[in-house]
Structure 1
Amino acid sequence: MQQGMVMRKVKSRSWKKQRYFMLQDDCMTIWYKSRKTGNAKSACECHLPKADKNRDGRMNFKEVQHLLKMMNVDMDEHHAFRLFQMADKSESGTLEGEEFVLFYKALTQRDEVLSVFQEFSEDGKKLTLLEFVDFLQQEQMEGEGVEELAMELIAKYEPSETGEARHVLSIDGFLAYLCSPDGCIFNPTHKTLFQDMSQPLCHYFISSSHNTYLIEDQLRGQSSIEGYIRALKRGCRCLEVDCWDGPNGEPIVYHGHTFTSKIPFREVISTLEKYAFQASEYPVVLSLENHCSMEQQDVMAQQLKGILGEQLLTTTIDGRVPARMPSPEELKGKILLKGKRLGSLEDALSGEPEEALEPGELLEEEEEEEEGTEPEEEALRNEDKRKEKVGVSAPLPCGLQRLIPPGTLQKSKPSLSKELSDCIVYCKSVSFHSFQHSQSHYRLYEMSSFAEAKARKLIREAGNEFVRHNAWQLTRIYPSGMRTDSSNYNPQEMWNVGCQMVALNFQTAGAEMDLYDGLFNQNGSCGYVLKPGFLRDVETPFSPESLPQSNPLYLAIQVISGQQLPKVVNSKEGSIVDPLVRVEIHGVPADTSKQETKYIDNNGFNPQWGETLRFRVQVPELALLRFKVEDYDKTSRNDFVGQFTLPLSSVKRGYRHIHLLSKDGTAIPPASLFVHVQITELSESD
């Protein structure tokens, strides 16, 4: 509806005319274009019916006041009454029809936008083509072809046919442009596929999920193919599946040694076949956590090949030993398996007999022993006390099992099925010993996985080595087993060293998933984002903890105003938000910072801040910019209102609107922020 469509307006059988209708960005106003002029009609019917208490089709001032409360407006009573009287042309003491449209227009007038408009308009009524070109060049920092861009925007957003024909922009057209995707803070060209997709897989950040089958917590939550559908529709390209022996010879998927429900492996693969390439045509990696017997591993291999068919990659793309990892472009439409493999790819391609797994090596990578952190050791002690108290033996979360000596919980691990092993090509899982060991013993198609704590330790102790390692080999990071509530770690610190598959629990909303969506919403949301050049060089000097000389950026964000901010969920009736805006930089440690505006009392409809927040960013290529609106509370924690996150490299300069998202990442129109963005390159001496 916001893109607009041609509809037929019908008054009678003999009176039918076509009109072009479009829902404005405030989602309360319908605009239509006729031959003579463009007209706006109020669509406040989303709140009128509720505010019109006596159902007479008219609204007295008391009903208008009630409507304002419903719309999150706590307006001065005298000012509201002046607007009411101005709109009451019939002097009836009530508003109806066009009178309410007039009242709504006065209520929603954007004085801060009008001020910008008049700054560039000589007569204060319109922007000529040259005046609009000046605005686009001087404020919006648009580059080449700006005159053609100006004409294109006028044709797209000017409601008056006369104005469009004269190549001028009215205040209504100017506001429509600023509220549109063309006036959004997110560079619209970055919403499309714009990056080089021909580089090796290890040169990309890859959207990855952890325990994809879960849609709740890790202990008792529900397992469902819906988890896979949601992740794939979100552009996720690396999915996890925990496979265990099931009844009737059919493998099942669930979080082992917990009370989570179970789903057949066959259903997961059928879902993957159907949804794998709906949101993105680039390759999907299926991370297998294999706990099955030889017999059921064979069944897994048969189901994978039988259901996925040609989609499943079972040999190198050219039948040769790879000299480099293939690219996303070369692997379009393919599904790759990640897991253990018998022997090397070289032996398989040459026909040499394949070796067995290394002595004592486990099939399932995430049960490798790790050094327990203090919180994990404490959790284990608490679990022992609980078992003593209740006198029962209950299944333990996988994270707790890792701290128990091998062999305590179960007998020896099963061997690997050759049929399943043969399906592993470019993502062979290997145990990590050291970066030096990987460089001297492993091949480029082999990869290791780390729990978040292990990864952090490596970042602290050998940041540059980690960066260089990730320039030639894939790495997957997964959450600690102690996160039984499916909470997430901060993915930014893993991206800072170039880790490609940073797996998060997609079912858990929060700041971590905001960052995730912010990074992967670029490049057409295809699930692959090209890493900066200094993270793709095996000889790079870069380390996030000790920065090399660079040319930083100066970022100044003026938070001007907010528009129709939603009420806090489950808030008291009649309550109105006291909004403040927090602006955060997420990047290397030296860049990570946040600042906030003052809060505005009782105004979620059109709060005005006019405050400028300033940042210095050392490594802009890795920085994410997050805007968060909160409802200020003097006595307790501020409540979440809305947020928007994007890469700093995708930020458009000038006057921009930020269309806010809810806690789970969905749009909440018409809520937005109006800001001015200034980005300046600094020299080393600045």
Structure 2
Amino acid sequence: MESDLGSKRDGLKDNEDLRFLLDGAKLTKIRSKSWHKSRYFNLMEDCRTIMCSSKKLGKKGNTFLIEDIESVRKGRQTEGLKKHTDPDEEEKCFSIMFKGSKKNLDFMVNSKEEAHRWVTSLEKLMNHAQNLSKKQEREHWFISCMRKADKNKDNKMTLKELKHFLRQVNIEVDDTYVEEIFKKCDTSNSGTLEDLEIEEFYSLLTKREEIDVIYAKYAKTEGEMSARDLLDFLLNEQREQATIESALKLIEKHELDEAAKQKKCMTKDGFVMYLNQEDGCIFNPAHSPVYQDMSQPLNHYFISSSHNTYLMEDQLKGPSSTEAYVKALMKSCRCVELDCWDGPNGEPIIYHGYTLTSKILFKDVIRAIKDYAFKVNEMLILPLGE
């Protein structure tokens, strides 16, 4: 589903890494010792979707979104690659780890240089996605969800698909209103929306009347906000300790119209841009680092904890995995559970006792905890053994 929201690439330049991903390449996808399949992976023109294609899949292929990737790991770091590849292939392997329960993808390529290129290029694209403005994030989220709702993948949205999509993302809108803006946007009278029509539907659906009201309240200088008007807004509505100098800096930073900027004024578009950036966020930036008193006894705090940390799925017959510990730790979990049992050859194992869950080695879990315990959180880690 292509719209101008996607095709502008949001500031991405056609650098070598981007071109590398757009061109794509064949990667060896690995699932087991005997399942090593060649698949073609490339970045689509929207610069946020990766497509996997093969002769079996044909032109359609499978896709996943850049924003769904949690991390890209170089080398044989996953259980699958450790089991199903040889140690001397370490530098030719890499893995794509996904958020949530989606299974990771393990790959092997022809050289360590190619593996490094895939890892660094994907990481740069992920970093770019993470640095988008709040407005861009919402647009990306909206278009991504719309693409998923396009059931027949024809890059067009019917009224039925749009209504289903709105229910899926918990947007409660009256059906009559949806039909009204659908007809308004369907300029081709085709009964479907595509490209710019979808962008217009998004704009109408997300129109913020309360922003119009607050802007009109403070825009007292020929229909625009002067620096003094903006200062009044910052003092009265935002409760900030602002000055006329800080108001001028916000105009210089966020105003899109050069003529308004020359007049030291902020248009409504500039005001919306400001509200969607970190400067207009309700969150107090002073609270980004830990600011609470951390000198109290341990039992004075709530601790982010994980139960049956080793389980990837259900607790009766689901798989156990060190990857479950990695995911928990990367979400800042500080207390993880280790259900330890005697294993063969004197090696302790971890699994959900007296069930059909798979077993993993205690030493592999400890190694995973050692590697990932403090990557995103410096607070102490509490391994709870049973």
Q: Normalising to structure 2: TM-score of the pair?
A: 0.52
Please point out which of 151, 159, 163 is paired with 1:69. Answer: 163
1:214 matched to 2:308? The reply is: no
The DSSP-based 3-state class of the residue aligned with 2:302 is strand
1 CA distance for matches of 2:316 and 2:197? 58
- The 5 A counterparts of 1:115-134 are 115-123=213-221, 125-134=223-232
- Per-residue CA deviation, residues 398-450 of structure 1 (Å, 9 max, x unaligned), is xxxxxxxxxxxxxxxxxxxxxxxxxxxxxxxxxxxxxxxxxxxxxxxxxxxxx
1:261 matched to 2:358? The reply is: yes
Measured after TM superposition, the shift of residue 98 of structure 1 is 6.3
Say if 1:177 and 1:183, in contact at 8 Å, map to a contact too.
Answer: yes
Give 2:238's aligned residue: 140
Say if 1:182 and 1:188, in contact at 8 Å, map to a contact too.
Answer: no
1:80 matched to 2:181? The reply is: yes
Measured after TM superposition, the shift of residue 239 of structure 1 is 1.9
1:171 matched to 2:268? The reply is: yes
- Per-residue CA deviation, residues 579-604 of structure 1 (Å, 9 max, x unaligned), is xxxxxxxxxxxxxxxxxxxxxxxxxx
The DSSP-based 3-state class of the residue aligned with 1:208 is coil
- Per-residue CA deviation, residues 659-680 of structure 1 (Å, 9 max, x unaligned), is xxxxxxxxxxxxxxxxxxxxxx
Say if 2:181 and 2:204, in contact at 8 Å, map to a contact too.
Answer: no
Please point out which of 339, 359, 375 is paired with 1:278. Answer: 375
Give 1:373's aligned residue: none
- The 5 A counterparts of 1:381-420 are none
Give 1:382's aligned residue: none
Say if 1:47 and 1:70, in contact at 8 Å, map to a contact too.
Answer: no
Measured after TM superposition, the shift of residue 177 of structure 1 is 3.0
- The 5 A counterparts of 1:48-447 are 65=159, 68-69=162-163, 72=166, 74-76=175-177, 79-80=180-181, 83-84=184-185, 105-123=203-221, 125-142=223-240, 144-147=241-244, 149-289=246-386
2 CA distance for matches of 1:100 and 1:252? 53
Give 2:135's aligned residue: 25
Say if 1:23 and 1:29, in contact at 8 Å, map to a contact too.
Answer: no
2 CA distance for matches of 1:182 and 1:237? 31
2 CA distance for matches of 1:179 and 1:240? 40
- Higher gyration radius (CA): 1
Q: Which has the higher helix share?
A: 2
Measured after TM superposition, the shift of residue 25 of structure 1 is 2.2
Give the 3 Å change call, closer, same or farther, for CA 260–27 of structure 1 in structure 2: same
1 CA distance for matches of 2:189 and 2:11? 37
Give the 3 Å change call, closer, same or farther, for CA 165–194 of structure 1 in structure 2: farther
Give 2:24's aligned residue: none
Measured after TM superposition, the shift of residue 119 of structure 1 is 1.2
1 CA distance for matches of 2:384 and 2:243? 47
1 CA distance for matches of 2:158 and 2:135? 23
The DSSP-based 3-state class of the residue aligned with 1:240 is strand
1 CA distance for matches of 2:286 and 2:307? 30
Say if 2:306 and 2:336, in contact at 8 Å, map to a contact too.
Answer: yes
Measured after TM superposition, the shift of residue 121 of structure 1 is 1.3
Unaligned runs of 5+ in 2: 16-127, 167-172
Letter paired with 1:216? E
Say if 1:24 and 1:176, in contact at 8 Å, map to a contact too.
Answer: no
Say if 1:83 and 1:107, in contact at 8 Å, map to a contact too.
Answer: no
User: How many residue pairs get matched?
Assistant: 256
1 CA distance for matches of 2:368 and 2:201? 52
Give the 3 Å change call, closer, same or farther, for CA 132–145 of structure 1 in structure 2: closer
Say if 2:159 and 2:182, in contact at 8 Å, map to a contact too.
Answer: no
Give the 3 Å change call, closer, same or farther, for CA 197–176 of structure 1 in structure 2: same
Say if 2:310 and 2:322, in contact at 8 Å, map to a contact too.
Answer: yes
Measured after TM superposition, the shift of residue 256 of structure 1 is 3.0
Measured after TM superposition, the shift of residue 137 of structure 1 is 1.6
Give the 3 Å change call, closer, same or farther, for CA 105–250 of structure 1 in structure 2: closer
Give the 3 Å change call, closer, same or farther, for CA 115–256 of structure 1 in structure 2: same
Letter paired with 1:280? N
The DSSP-based 3-state class of the residue aligned with 2:338 is strand
2 CA distance for matches of 1:166 and 1:209? 56
Letter paired with 1:25? K
Q: Compute the RMSD of aligned alpha carbons.
A: 4.4
Say if 2:351 and 2:357, in contact at 8 Å, map to a contact too.
Answer: yes
Measured after TM superposition, the shift of residue 75 of structure 1 is 4.0
Measured after TM superposition, the shift of residue 28 of structure 1 is 6.6
Give the 3 Å change call, closer, same or farther, for CA 68–149 of structure 1 in structure 2: farther
Give 2:27's aligned residue: none
Letter paired with 1:176? M
Give the 3 Å change call, closer, same or farther, for CA 180–112 of structure 1 in structure 2: same
Measured after TM superposition, the shift of residue 47 of structure 1 is 4.5
Give the 3 Å change call, closer, same or farther, for CA 46–162 of structure 1 in structure 2: farther
Say if 1:214 and 1:222, in contact at 8 Å, map to a contact too.
Answer: yes
Q: Normalising to structure 1: TM-score of the pair?
A: 0.32
Give the 3 Å change call, closer, same or farther, for CA 203–254 of structure 1 in structure 2: same
